[in-house]
Amino acid sequence: MKFMLVILITLGAAGDKPKTIEMRIPQENQKDCLKSAKTFRISLPVISIDTRCEPRRDDEEPEVRGVKT
C-alpha cells in the first residue's frame, strides 16, 4: 500500500491570523513515510510544522494548498 506524507505548515505573526499550508507528498511505504515525516520536525517562534502519514487513496495526487482556519 502506498502512503501520503501530509505536512501542515502554520505561519503566524503577532496580531495576524495564522495561515496554514498543507502539502501531500506520495511515499512508497509506511516506513519511508515515517522516516520522511521526522525530517520536517522543527520548531520556530512563528512557524509550526506537523506531519503525519496516511494511506493513499486511489485517486489522490500530490498537492499543495492553503487550509482555512
pLDDT digits (tens, 9 = 90+) for 35-64: 999 887 777 788 888 999 999 888 878 888
pLDDT at 69 exceeding the cut of 60? no
| 37: enclosing H helix or E strand | helix 30-39
Is 80 exceeded by the pLDDT of residue 11? yes
Lowest mean pLDDT among 11-15, 31-35, 47-51: 11-15
What percent of the chain lies above the pLDDT cut of 90?
39
Rg (CA), the chain: 13
Average pLDDT over residues 12-26: 83
Q: What is the pTM of this model?
A: 0.79
